[in-house]
Structure 1
Amino acid sequence: MDAARGWSDLLAQVPNNLDRAWVDITGDPRDMGNPSRQHRLKFDLKSIKLGGVELEQWQYEITGGGRIWYAIDDENRTLYITLAGTGHPRRTDRRR
């Protein structure tokens, strides 16, 4: 599922949660105040290459299963949504 479609699904199902997430990640994309909700991904998911540049990749838990993954581009002061969806992304299971 691409990020835009996943974002639309989240908006339809949990608009208040999505709004809170947007405020949180745009306010402080590296906030560690609630690490169970917002944290950097680990192992081979901790970064992603976009436009030839390696960027940190973070996760924000919207619901028990819903997630947003985003990459932080400090130089351009930009966040890229790399994944959004209502179900738990299985790519995080048993990573080393």
Structure 2
Amino acid sequence: MLTYEEMQYLVAFSRIGTLSGVARGFHISQPSVSRAMQKAEEVFGVPLFDRKRNHIQLNGSGELAAKRIEKILAEIDDLIRTIKAFSKSAS
């Protein structure tokens, strides 16, 4: 299973297109992002990237995964907001 942060990294990679850009945006190391992308491939059991010398990009499976994960993250964020709002109103 991917962590919330790992899912965020994959979605960010789909937007930014570079591991270093994702690393800068989340203030983490590039190897940490690389490991998260490798873990995503392990979790899904299929390649998510086309790899070339010093460059990777999402393939069709990776693009689909990023789009679906983006929806999941939005649902999680909405759930958190809803629970917080409910808790405030119940107090």
Q: Place the TM-score, normalised by the shorter chain, in its bin.
A: under 0.3
TM-score of the two chains, using structure 2 as the length reference: 0.27
More strand by share: 1
- State the TM-score, normalizing by the size of structure 1: 0.26
Higher helix share: 2
